[in-house]
Every structure is written in C-alpha cells, then in structure tokens.
Copies of this chain bind each other. A is one copy, B any other.
Amino acid sequence: MTDMPTALSLREVGPRDGLQNEDPVSTETKIELIDRLSGTGVSRIEAVSFVHPRAIPQMADAAEVAAQMTRASGVRYSALVPNFKGAERALDAGFNEIEVVVSASDTHNKKNLNRSTAESLDDIAAIIDLAHGRGATVQVIVSTAWGCPYEGEVPTERVMWVVNTAAAHGADSLSFGDTTGMATPTRVTRLIGETRSAHADKPLNLHFHNTRGTGLANVLAALQLGVTDFDASVGGLGGCPYAPGASGNIATEELVHMVEDMGIDTGVNLDALLDTAAYAERAVGRTLPSQVLRAGPRTRLAQS
C-alpha cells in the first residue's frame, strides 16, 4: 500500500447531490447544513446546483443559498451546473469554482440534460471559456463513468473520449462519477490508469456511490494509486433515484472514519461531522444509510 497518500481533500456533496435526491427542505436548512459542514474541517463543499427549477425543484433557491451561506476561510465552495445558462448563474452568484456534468452514456445524458454527450461537450467548451474569462475554474464531471443505469456497460474508450475532449477544451480538473454504484475496484484501477496515462497532470476527483456496497472498497483502490480528491455526502444523504431504498453517495463520516484510522489526514473532526450527520437526518426526516452514524466510531465502547 506504498502509494497511499498522507492527506485527502474531501468535497462534501450532501447539500447538492444529497439534498437534490431528498424531499425538499427549506432554504434556511440548506444554509444551516452548509455552515455546519464548514465547521467540520472539510476541504471543499459542493453547495448548490444551478439547474432549471422544473427539472430539480430542490435546487430552485440556489442563488439565495449562495448569497446567505457563510463562506468560511479555508473552505472551497463550488456549484454544479448542467449547461451554459447554469454556469452564468453560478458565476453571477459568486462561485469561482464550478463543476459541469456530462454523462459518458448518451441515454443518461439525454435524460439528465436533454442533449447528447457530444452536444454537452460542445457546451462545455463554451462554459470553460466563459468561466476562465471571469477568473473561475471548471471541473468536468464525467457521470456514468463505470456504467449506466439505462445502457449497462459503458466502454472505457467512450469514457476516455469524453475525458480527452474535456481536457482539450481546457478543463482545469476532472472527476469521475459512479452514478449508480456500478464500479468495482478493478474497474476503478483501470480507469484511473488510463486517465493518468493520457492526462498525468490533470487533477482527478472521484465520486463514488455505495448503491451496491462497494463504495469504500473503490476508495481503497483509488487511494492505492495515490488519488487524493474524493466526494462524499454527510450521513449518506441522497439515495438512488434508480433503486428505491438503495444508498446513494458514500457517507462522508464512513470515509473519514476509515481513512483517518489508516493514517490519512482529512482535516475533518469526526465528532463534528457526526453531529452534522445527525442534523441532516433530522432535517430530511428519515434514517440515513451511514453505518458510522448508527454504530459510532470504532473506539466507541459498549456498556460493559
């Protein structure tokens, strides 16, 4: 395990990927969640997405959230955007880091963004130009990177075509999204290897879902290749729109709990994070899938 990093940069996506898959909560609750997360020591927070409110009503108040949340020093805040219009709104709201999402599989991209993958890649070129012109950076998130809920397997060549196109358009960093938890460790190893071979200098973020239980095993495979940037959702907020009752994003506290015990620094205070996960659970009014939220850290003792 010699290539293992000594520190990670975690991006908390509960306020965005989490809440957009839960019943709507108030603007105040979103702001409270983001501000609590800022206090946990997490490096990055994906605060909102600027999507059409008809598509995702949970994010209709993105601009208000962005205006009212506290921007803590030492925390990087980002917004996810699906298209040029969303990018303009995100920049107007003061974000200097935006993420633009595109699916490697056409069917998922069409359902998600109402256009083909190739059309989205054209949009991405314009978005990157826009953002760079306004001093912001753009991460291109490639969804369905390890499989698509509509098409099944997505050929690695197809994923690499998206990656190569995004890089040619000037993406500042890349992220792979395991949209419905179809990744397994050997697949993770393979895709990281291909991406490193082609784009050694491009920062790489990984976004795993635990839909089929492999989330932390996939993280381990990536850690062993020295990957340092991961998304996770507090409490495991979110869920999977394609499989009722299944988990969504890996839970931030499960990730922190595991890697800190392995000697990898996340900067996160686990107790503060667990308090925030409990808050998130109350906010959405359902039991969240995080195991560490249920069982506590490994050193929590039972009553003797």
- Point out residues on A near B: beta carbons under 8 Å: 1, 107, 147, 149-153, 180-182, 184-187, 189, 210-217, 219-221, 240, 242-247, 251, 254, 257-258, 261-263, 287, 290-292, 294-299, 301-302, 304
Q: Are B295 and A246 in contact, CB atoms less than 8 angstroms apart?
A: yes
Residue in B149, B181, B186 whose beta carbon sits within 8 Å of that of A1 in the complex: B186
Besides A213-B216, A246-B294, 12 other A-B contacts (C-beta < 8 A): A1-B221, A150-B304, A152-B299, A153-B299, A210-B213, A212-B295, A213-B251, A213-B257, A213-B290, A216-B217, A217-B217, A220-B221
Across the interface, which residues of B come within 8 angstroms of A213, CB to CB? 210, 215-216, 251, 254, 257-258, 290-292
CB distance from A211 to the nearest CB of B (A): 5
Q: Are A149 and B302 in contact, CB atoms less than 8 angstroms apart?
A: yes
Taken together as a complex, chains A and B put the C-alpha atoms of A262 and B220 apart, in Å, by 15
CB distance from A108 to the nearest CB of B (A): 9
Most buried by B among A149, A219, A297: A149
Taken together as a complex, chains A and B put the C-alpha atoms of A254 and B243 apart, in Å, by 15
Residue in B185, B187, B302 whose beta carbon sits within 8 Å of that of A220 in the complex: B185
> Given known contacts A186-B261, A220-B221, A304-B150, is B181 in contact with A295 (CB within 8 Å)?
yes
Taken together as a complex, chains A and B put the C-alpha atoms of A274 and B215 apart, in Å, by 20
Q: Are B304 and A107 in contact, CB atoms less than 8 angstroms apart?
A: yes
Across the interface, which residues of B come within 8 angstroms of A214, CB to CB? 216, 254, 257-258
Taken together as a complex, chains A and B put the C-alpha atoms of A85 and B147 apart, in Å, by 53
The 6 closest A-B pairs by CB, nearest first: A213-B254, A243-B295, A246-B295, A149-B302, A213-B291, A182-B298
Q: Are B247 and A212 in contact, CB atoms less than 8 angstroms apart?
A: no
Q: Are A262 and B184 in contact, CB atoms less than 8 angstroms apart?
A: yes
Q: Is the interface of A mostly helix, strand, loop or mixed?
A: loop
CB distance from A176 to the nearest CB of B (A): 15
Taken together as a complex, chains A and B put the C-alpha atoms of A210 and B251 apart, in Å, by 14
CB distance from A6 to the nearest CB of B (A): 13
Taken together as a complex, chains A and B put the C-alpha atoms of A240 and B1 apart, in Å, by 30
Most buried by B among A221, A247, A295: A295
CB distance from A249 to the nearest CB of B (A): 12
Q: Are A258 and B184 in contact, CB atoms less than 8 angstroms apart?
A: yes
Across the interface, which residues of B come within 8 angstroms of A1, CB to CB? 185-186, 189, 221
CB distance from A240 to the nearest CB of B (A): 7
Q: Are B240 and A295 in contact, CB atoms less than 8 angstroms apart?
A: yes
Closest Cβ neighbor of A4 among chain B residues: B186
Across the interface, which residues of B come within 8 angstroms of A150, CB to CB? 301-302, 304
Q: Are A263 and B182 in contact, CB atoms less than 8 angstroms apart?
A: no
CB distance from A150 to the nearest CB of B (A): 5
Across the interface, which residues of B come within 8 angstroms of A189, CB to CB? 1
CB distance from A143 to the nearest CB of B (A): 14
Closest Cβ neighbor of A304 among chain B residues: B150
Residue in B187, B211, B257, B291 whose beta carbon sits within 8 Å of that of A295 in the complex: B211
